Structure 1
Amino acid sequence: MKFFIYIIAYPLLWLISKLPFPVFYFVSDCFYILLYRIVGYRKKTVRANIKMTMPELSDKEVKQVEKESFRHLCDIFLEMIKTFTISEKELKKRFSFTNLDTILEIEKQGRSIMLFCAHYANWEWIIILDKFIKFQGYAVYKKINNPYFNKLIKKIRMRFDTVLIEMKETIKVTRKNELDKNHGVYAFISDQSPMISQTNCWQEFMGIEVPIYTGGEALCKKFNMIPMYLEVEYIKRGHYQATFIPLLEEGENIKDVPNYEIMHRFLGKVEQTIRKAPAYYFWTHKRWKHQGKKPKNIK
C-alpha cells in the first residue's frame, strides 16, 4: 500500500515542481481553500496556539494571523516540492543570506558550527547554504514511516550537497567527523516539542513553560562548536532572507556557559522573530501540548 501511494503521488509532485511560479502559487491558493476553508485542518489547534501565546491579540487579529499562517503553510509545503526541480541559480535568488562573512570567518578558525533553526518562514530552503560555504553542511532529520517518501524527501533535501543525518545517528556521526577534523555546519530544527520522557529540561517559550530538546546544545559544548541562530525572514511570497545571529557573547567560551543557557537564548531569539511577524510560524505543530505537565522532580 505504501508503494502504491508513492507511485500515484510521485508524478503529481514532479509536475507541480515544474510549474512556473505564477501557476505554482495559484495551486497553493487552491490548496489553501481546501485545507483551511473546506477541511479545516488543525484550525482549532492553530487558533488555540495563537490565543495561548499572544493573549494580547484581539479575536480579529487572531483570525488574521490564523488565515495568513495557513496560506503560508500551503506555500511551504509546495515550496518543499519545488525543491525537487528548482535550479541552484533560482534558489539563490529566492533564499539569500545577509551576513555570510560571519560563517566564512568561523571556517578560518577551524571550528564547527551548530546552527539552531526554527519552524519559521521557509526552513526547507536553508539547504542552499552548502553552495556558499566550504564546510560540509549537515541537517538532522527524523525518518518518516513510508520508506519510499522518506527516500524521496532525502533526495530532495540533498540536492544542493547537504548531508542528512538521522536523529539517532547524530552523536555517532558528529563524533567521527570531529575526531577526523572534518568540521562542518550542523543544522538542528530545535523548537519542536519532545516527549516528556526524552527531556530533563523545561523552559519558557512564548510565555509558557515547555519541555525542550537539549541534544544540539550538548553536542555543541562537547565538541567546542560555535552556536548560532539562523533567523529566517519572510520578504515576499517565495523570497526569504536569513541572518546568522551568535548565541555567545563576545569573548565567551562555550564550555563556560551554564547548561541549557544556549537553548534559553535560542528560544528567546525565536520568540522575538515570531512576535515580529507571527503569520510565518508553524502554528499547526502542537508545541504547547505538555503545558502544565512538568514532572515534579524537574526544577
Structure 2
Amino acid sequence: MSKTTSTSYPWYYHVLGGLLRGLAHLPLSVLYGLADFIYFLLAYVVRYRQKVILTNLRNSFPEKPAAEIQRLQNQFYRNFAQVLVETLKLGAISNEELKRRVTFRNPEVLERHFAQGRTVLGLSSHAGNWEWVLTSGALWLSAHVDGVYKPLMNPFFERFMRQLRTGTGAGLIPMRDTLRDLVQRRGETRVVSLLSDQAAGPEDRPYWTTFMHQDAGFYTSAERLATRFSCPVVYVGIHRLHRGRYEIVLADLYDGDSPLPANSFPITEAFVRQLEADIRAFPADYLWSHRRWKHKRVTE
C-alpha cells in the first residue's frame, strides 16, 4: 500500500472533504441546528469524556452544588458543539461576517506595541471559540498574526485545519519551530499567539501554581521567549457574548523591557490569574474535557 501524503489520501477522505466543504457553505443558523444534534450525541449518547469534565468542574468549583455542576456540564457540551460548527464555518465565512461576530474591545493594547515595531507574544487559552481568535485577529489588527500550534498526525485533517486557520491571512508556526521562527524573523512587527493553558509535564520543567483550587504546571516559554527577544506579552481573553458572538479583551502582562527576577515566572503567574478570573466569569466556556490537571507536582 502506498504511503499517504498531505496531497494524496484514500478515497474516503476526498468524500469527507467534499462533505465538510459543503456543510461550511450552509448558513450558521442551519449549522447551529446541527450543533444541537451534536450536543445531544455528546451529552446523552457518547457521554464524551464525562468523567473528566465532571471531575474538573467539581474540583474547580467545590463551592457549587451538584445541580449547578450538572448545569455547567450540559452548557459546556452545548458550547463545545457550537465551537465545532463555527470552526467548520471558517471554510466559507466572509471576512465581513467574521469581523461582525468577533470584536476586539481594546485593540489599542496591541497597536501601541506595533507602533514601536515590536513582536508581541499573545497568550490565550481554550476558552470561548479559540479557533476564531487567530482568524479574526488577522482582520482586526494592523500587523501580521501568527499562531503557534501542534500539527495533527493525520495528514488530511492537518491540511484541512491549516486551510481553515489561515483563510483570513493568519500564519501558523509548528510548535517545534517556534524558537527558529523568532530568530529568523526577529524584530518583525507581528503577534505570535500561544495557547498557554496546556498541561505541562515534568519533563517540561513547569512552573507550578494553584489554578482553580488545584496544583497545575504551566509551560514557562513566555518568560524565556519574552526576555530573549524583548517581546511585550499580552493576555488575550475570549468572552462569549451569546451564540456566535465573541469579544476579545486584551491586557498587558509584560512590557518587553523590564528585567525579570531570576528563577521567577511573573508573566506566567499573571496569565494564570487573568485566565482564572475569566473562567469564573464564564465558567461554561472553558474546555473542561481536556485533562488540564493530569500531572502531579513532584516534591523532593
Band the TM-score falls in, shorter-chain normalisation? over 0.9
Q: Which residue of the partner structure matches residue 174 of structure 1?
A: 182
Cα displacement string for residues 229-269 of structure 1 (whole angstroms, at most 9, x for unaligned residues) = 01111101000000111113xx8844335531100000110
Tell me the amino acid that sits aligned with residue 282 of structure 1. Answer: L
User: Would you say the 8 A contact 2:231–2:256 is kept in 1?
Assistant: no
Shift, 1:212, TM fit: 1.0
Shift, 1:35, TM fit: 1.3
Paired residue total: 291
User: Would you say the 8 A contact 2:230–2:256 is kept in 1?
Assistant: no
Q: Which residue of the partner structure matches residue 78 of structure 2?
A: 71
CA distance in 1, matches of 2:282, 2:138: 27
Structure 2 counterparts to residues 39-50 of structure 1, below 5 A: 39-50=46-57
- Which of 253, 270, 289 in structure 1 is aligned with 2:275? 270
CA distance in 2, matches of 1:238, 1:253: 38
Shift, 1:198, TM fit: 1.8
User: Would you say the 8 A contact 2:237–2:249 is kept in 1?
Assistant: yes
CA distance in 1, matches of 2:141, 2:99: 13
Q: Which residue of the partner structure matches residue 256 of structure 1?
A: 260
User: Would you say the 8 A contact 1:135–1:183 is kept in 2?
Assistant: yes
- Which of 279, 283, 294 in structure 2 is aligned with 1:289? 294
Runs of 4+ more than 4 Å apart: none
Tell me the amino acid that sits aligned with residue 43 of structure 1. Answer: Q
Q: Which residue of the partner structure matches residue 210 of structure 2?
A: 204
Cα displacement string for residues 181-204 of structure 1 (whole angstroms, at most 9, x for unaligned residues) = 322101000011122212242122
Q: Taking every aligned residue pair, what percent have the same amino acid on both sides?
A: 28
User: Would you say the 8 A contact 1:114–1:225 is kept in 2?
Assistant: yes
User: Would you say the 8 A contact 1:6–1:149 is kept in 2?
Assistant: no
Question: What TM-score results when the alignment is normalised by the length of structure 1?
Answer: 0.93
- Which of 61, 79, 82 in structure 1 is aligned with 2:68? 61
Structure 2 counterparts to residues 1-299 of structure 1, below 5 A: 3-4=9-10, 5-126=12-133, 127-178=135-186, 181-248=187-254, 253-256=257-260, 259-290=264-295, 293-297=296-300
Tell me the amino acid that sits aligned with residue 272 of structure 1. Answer: A
User: Would you say the 8 A contact 1:224–1:254 is kept in 2?
Assistant: no
User: Would you say the 8 A contact 2:148–2:174 is kept in 1?
Assistant: yes
Tell me the amino acid that sits aligned with residue 74 of structure 2. Answer: K
Question: What TM-score results when the alignment is normalised by the length of structure 2?
Answer: 0.93
CA distance in 1, matches of 2:142, 2:83: 28
CA distance in 2, matches of 1:234, 1:295: 36
Q: Report SS of the residue matched to 2:215.
A: strand
CA distance in 2, matches of 1:125, 1:168: 23
Deviates more, 1:43-52 or 1:197-206: 197-206
User: Would you say the 8 A contact 1:117–1:231 is kept in 2?
Assistant: yes
CA distance in 1, matches of 2:145, 2:29: 31
Deviates more, 1:131-140 or 1:274-283: 131-140
Q: Report SS of the residue matched to 1:241.
A: strand
User: Would you say the 8 A contact 2:28–2:86 is kept in 1?
Assistant: no
